[in-house]
Every structure is written in C-alpha cells, then in structure tokens.
Amino acid sequence: MKKIQTNPGHERLEYLDSLRGLAAMSVVWSHYFSAFGFSPSLDKIMTNSPLHIIWDGFAAVSIFFVLSGFVLAYKYFAPPSDSSLRQLSLRTFYIARLARIYLPFLGVLCLSALLQRALPPVLVSHPLSTSWLQPFWANLETVRSFFDQALLYKYAPDTTLRLIPQDWSLTIEFNISLIFPFLVLVACRSSFWILALTLISIPILKLPMYLFHFMLGILMAKHLPALRQKVGALKKLTQICLFLLGLFFYTYRYSVYPYFPNLLAENRIWYVTGLASALVILVALTSRTIQRLLRHPWLVFLGKISYSVYLIHFAIFLSFCTRFMAFAQTAGITDDNTLRLLGLAFLTLSTLVFSTFSYYFLEVPCIQLGRRLSGVSFTLADSIWRRLSATAPD
C-alpha cells in the first residue's frame, strides 16, 4: 500500500508546536513548585487563581491530548484530502507512533535508571522540600519493575514507584494511538457517531476519559474550515477575549473548583480542561495576532523539543537540581526565596540543554528509524484497513 505522509499542501502549524512547548514547561514547573512551593506571600495567589496556569501540569496533559488528536487527524481532513484516509497505511501509522512515542521514552527510561543509581536525589533543607517529593526514587528499581515500566502498557496509579512518574500520560497516548485510525474513520463517516461513541464508551466500557480530548481534536480537524470562518468573522478583541476565556477555564481545577467545589465533580474537571484546551487551540488556529506571538523562534524551538522536555526533566530535577540547591546552601545561600529562584532557573536551563541534546541525538534518530522500518510489509492489516475505509467519503 502507498505510504502516506503529511500532504505538502497542508499548512505548517508551527504555532501549535509552541503551545505544546509552553505546556511542557508548565509540567516542569509544576513538579518544581510541588516540591518546593512558594513563599507564604505568594502561595495563595499562585495556587488558587488563574496564575496557576504557569504550573498547571494537569491541564497541560489536556492540551497535549487535544493537540495529538488534532495534529494526527489534520492531514486526513485538510484539503486537498481526497482519498488520504483510504490510502492510510496502518503499518506506517503504527510504526511512526512507536518510533515517535515509545523509543525516546525507552531511551530516557534507561538514562533515568542509570541516574537513580549513580546520582540519587539528595535532601534539600532550604527551602524544605515537601512530602510530595520524598517518595520519588526512594527505592532502587529491580529488573522486573524496570521491565514493567518499559512495557508502558498499563496505567500505574502510584507514580512515585516509577522512574518517569509522568509516563502515565504516555500510556494513555500509546493505547489510544492503537485505535486512532478507526476513530478517524468513524469521524469521517459521522461527527455525531464519534461523539456518541466516545461519550458512551467512557462510562460503559471504562475507557479513559482522555479519549474525550482526542475526539475533540479529531472533530476540530474535520470541521476546521467552518470553525475558522466563524471565529475569524469575530472582531480581534472578541477573539482575544475567547482565548483568555479558554485559558481561564483551562485552569478550572485551581481558579474555579476551590471556590465552587459543588459545581462539578472533581473527576469531571478533565472534561472542562479538554474543552478549554480545544477553545485555546481553535482561537490560535484563527487569530493572526496570537499566531504571530506563538511563531517567535524561541517558542517554536521549545515546541520542537517539547517531548524531550516532558520526558527528561524529572530525572534532571532529582539527580541534578537537588544537588545544585544543596551546593548553593553549602556556599552560604540560605534565603529560601533566593534558593527557590536559583533552583527554578537551574532546572529550567538544564532541562532545555538536556532536551536539546535528547531531541537531536535520540528523538530525531528514532523518527528516522521509524521511517526506514515503514517499508516492512504488513499487507494483511493494510488490506483490512482498505476494505474498512473503502466507503469513506472523500
């Protein structure tokens, strides 16, 4: 079957990469501030307010999933789409996802295992680390536990037992990738049916609620021209207000829920952050003002290395940042606020440096390997897909 790649006629959406990069950095900062907190004067305003967006790692996962749904589906709906869905090779799609998600994860997992033994985290007394940080990497990995993590096949509720605690989201991403082509096929036939299928299967089949985020991304990709036309017809100020509204509800878990806990059950907040993420992405797809801001070269580069930022930062935090802060204390710096700022700066810069190396020497080779392996024949799977998509509308 013909190998399908992103159509060269499709618009390059670099500004969406920037959104992903900013979300990845918020995950880095969420782990840092969860470990060392804020000064008493800043704690409440930085925690239970829209300013929590700076370190809202939960909401970042929502935007990751909506972006994944949109970007993966975009090439099959954006003109000229023609028969792209019918020509989709399951072989190419699955190998590409394996190379893009799993192989870099496996590389960082091995690095984390080495760092856990060679440079375990040290106790930081100023500012005193919270109880949240202490369980991570507290016990050396066994061969069995390492391979359990390496399989990335099931969600682990106790993330403190994992070398890469944030890999729970990769398990979700990887599992949904297995059914993603079929979700696109359903959406191609009927927007109503993919919406109904998603909302029914989550409670009945006990599928992860994050499926809702991917569905939103797919529907945005399918209806993008019409959505862009409607949002684009709004005044520039209205578009910016919509963007800010999306950012506000993006932090619903901290800006609304603490004050009105009875409005929505806590486990349903993910639906709000998913919808808010979709709104932010939609306005970014439409507003030239926001696109111009997000196309800043530094932000675009941050988006390029965002997966490495997400993967590697926790190992950097535990092995190097805690040591740096302990060294700063021995050097005579004892003011908590100064140490917090120094630690934050060190973690941010070191994560960007390590992530740059990881991108060029781990991610890029994995992507290239995936492209080479796409030539391996799995004609049965592609034959089944060709039959399923034979009646898909152009």
* 383 has a pLDDT exceeding 80: no
**How far apart are the C-alpha atoms of 213 and 13, rounded to whole Å?**
19
Q: Give the global pTM.
A: 0.90
pLDDT at residue 260 tops 60: yes
User: How confident is residue 107, by pLDDT bands cut at 50, 70 and 90?
Assistant: very high
What does the pLDDT read at residue 161?
79
Give the per-residue pLDDT at 268. 92
pLDDT at 82 over 60: no
Task: Report pLDDT for 206.
Answer: 87
- What pLDDT is stored for residue 253 in this prediction? 95
Share of the chain above pLDDT 90, in %: 69
| pLDDT (tens digit per residue) in 145-183 | 898 899 887 666 677 778 999 999 999 999 999 999 999
Examine the pLDDT at 1 and tell me if it is beyond 50.
no
According to the model, what pLDDT value does residue 30 have? 96
What is the SS3 string spanning 300-332?
A: HHHHHCHHHHHHHHHHHHHHHHHHHHHHHHHCC
Q: Report pLDDT for 4.
A: 33
First and final C-alpha spacing in the chain: 18
Cα–Cα distance measured from residue 334 to residue 30, given in angstroms and rounded to the nearest whole number: 23
pLDDT band at 2 (very low <50, low <70, confident <90, very high): very low
Q: For the segment 285-311, what is each residue's pLDDT rounded down to a tens digit?
A: 999 999 999 999 999 999 999 999 999
Q: Is the per-residue pLDDT at 232 higher than 70?
A: yes
Q: Residue 144 pLDDT > 90, yes or no?
A: no
The answer to whether 321 and 346 are in contact (CB under 8 A) is yes
Ordered by start, the domain boundaries in the chain are 14-388
Q: What are the residues facing 128 on neighbouring strands?
A: 125
DSSP 161: G
Quick one: pLDDT at residue 7? 45
Give the residue-averaged pLDDT of 98-117.
95
- Across 183-194, average pLDDT: 92
Q: How confident is the model at residue 371 (pLDDT cuts 50, 70, 90)?
A: confident
Nearest to 366 by CA among 190, 107, 44: 107
The predicted model gives 72-99 an average pLDDT of 77
| pLDDT score of 341 | 94
* pLDDT score, position 3: 35
What mean pLDDT comes out for the span 221-240? 93
